[in-house]
Structure 1
Amino acid sequence: MRFLFVLTIIGIVPSIAFPQAQTEYMSQTTRDRINFTNLNISNNATLFSIKGPAGNVIGHPYLDTTWQAGNVKFYNRLGVSLTTDSLAGVPVRLDLLANEVDIRAGANNIKAVKATAVRYVDINNSFGTVSRYVNTHEYQGNGQALTGFFEQLATGKLDLLLYPSVSIRRANYNLALNTGTKDDELMKKQDWYVASAKQATKFSPGKKAILELMADKKEPVEAFLKTEKPDLKSRAGLLAVFTFYNRL
């Protein structure tokens, strides 16, 4: 019995000593982690990001940052007025990202109107003329899937429409490779559309596409293209062709 008791005591002592040593070890480890001075952290892009200034947004969302005199036609009457549904001769600009018409009522007073409330806007342009921007929902077909405005360059049997828009190219900085940019960028885009009887269709300009569109007047249009040689990739060239066709 005495021999068994001694063995039992011997077996207990290590079991008491081990937790004590483990506790001391863990305490030391904790102190070491808290008091580290030369910890080496790898550039793991999934765990860590760079400490420093945030990225910027490059570009602006406006069709033109310059305020231009314009006339705004609304779908509904303004306020309590029974007759007025428009504003004339007011400084305006188009916010393509927010799909809003900004109206400056004073030096520090800017009103933003959702595009869905505006039938059209007439704005002075840099070409010395007036551009009309019509709500895309005034057209059927492809126009119903868009928001914002078509610029009406030519109207008639065939309408020539230009759809301006802005998209955001997100920052693509790669920490592990130290490549890319931290900045978001606003990217402007313009797409051509044509409309017949208010049915709008996306359009890729070119001689073949023009002649297919204007097949009912193919001969005079083809002669016009041959003699005038308009640049069918340019605003002025396309406007000349559509204006000629709509006058036939």
Structure 2
Amino acid sequence: MKNCKFHLPCRMVMTVLTFLYYMLVSGLSWAQQESIQKTVRATNIQEMFMNRPNFMGGNSVYGIPEAPKMLEGNYYLDPNWNRGSILLYNEDEILNDYFIRYQIEEDQLEVMANEEGSIVKINGVSVKNFISVDSVTKSQRIFMNQRDFVSDSEEVMGFYEVLVDGDMMLVKTTKATFRNSNYNTALMMGEKNDRIVKRDSYYYIVGDSAHAISSKMNQFLELFGDKRPEIRRYINKYNVDIKSELGLVRVFNFYNNRRED
């Protein structure tokens, strides 16, 4: 066998060069992997700061207390003070042109008694009806005490808001319920804060009787007696959504206007 320069066999030289090449390639690959891992770690830390600013959740707690939960929402039908008038049961006494707002849970009307902002609370059972002027739309909102109507609802505390007046009135009630937070600290899932949730229910009134409105089309149409075919044609023609408040208002306005013709 011939010897290469430096008196090493050619095969040995090739072996050494191959080894050095693989070492170089392996070194570059390891350096690239380390760079990628550093990038991943940096990204994870950044996400932790964004998603867990108090370092809560998971397995690491650094002595910084978790932010206290808050209460979202309120028990007011409208938290704004609106101008309004109140008709009391007591000798039909009228309180005219006051700033008022209604507290649903306590069934109380709050009245701003003077310019200094002192507040008087009137129990709902003492109020026959009240009118408030919406501070945004400037439209009147009329409320009637539920106790003046025979209802198929088990709960009669509170007021009906009149949406459509006529032979068949459309009204609604608004109830407010407290919902506890369901946040899981370890999993960082769920609602962090307690909430006040408001839910509307719709009724129709004929005479002094109030009845819940069904969202099922066939049962809904039964409300209108011999006008059912006409009401169905109106709903189909204008693609009215009877599950929405606007849709109900449109149908009841149409029905009451047709009754007047």
1:166 and 2:180 matched: no
Q: 2:147 aligns with which of 112, 137, 143?
A: 137
Q: Which residue of 2 aligns with 1:119?
A: 128
Q: 2:74 aligns with which of 43, 60, 65?
A: 60
1:105 and 2:113 matched: yes
Query: Structure 1: which 5+ residue stretches go unaligned?
Result: 1-50, 78-83
Q: Which residue of 2 aligns with 1:191?
A: 201
- Distance in 2, matches of 1:244 and 1:177, equals 52
Pick the structure with more helix per residue: 2
Structure 1 residue 111, shift from structure 2 partner? 1.1
Q: Which residue of 1 aligns with 2:242?
A: 232
* 1:120-170 deviation line (CA, Å, top 9, x unaligned): 111123444211111111111235622111111123332211110100112
Q: How many pairs were matched up?
A: 193
Structure 1 residue 244, shift from structure 2 partner? 1.7
Contact 2:133 2:140 in 1 (8 A): yes
Given residue 211 of structure 2, which amino acid in structure 1 is its aligned partner?
T
Structure 1 residue 215, shift from structure 2 partner? 2.1
Q: 1:212 aligns with which of 184, 200, 222?
A: 222
* 1:75-129 deviation line (CA, Å, top 9, x unaligned): 114xxxxxx6011111111111211111112332111111111111111234442
Structure 1 residue 242, shift from structure 2 partner? 0.8
Q: 1:96 aligns with which of 94, 104, 109?
A: 104
* Range 218-227 or range 156-165, more displaced: 218-227
Q: 1:238 to 1:181 in 2, by over 3 A?
A: closer
Contact 2:214 2:220 in 1 (8 A): no
Instruction: Give 4+ residue runs of structure 1 displaced > 6 Å after superposition.
Output: 174-179
Q: Which residue of 2 aligns with 1:76?
A: 90
Q: 1:56 to 1:226 in 2, by over 3 A?
A: closer
SS in 2 for 1:214: helix
Structure 1 residue 58, shift from structure 2 partner? 2.1
TM-score, length-scaled by structure 1:
0.68
TM-score, length-scaled by structure 2:
0.65
Alpha-carbon RMSD across the aligned residues, in angstroms, is 2.6
Q: 1:168 to 1:242 in 2, by over 3 A?
A: same
Given residue 62 of structure 1, which amino acid in structure 2 is its aligned partner?
Y
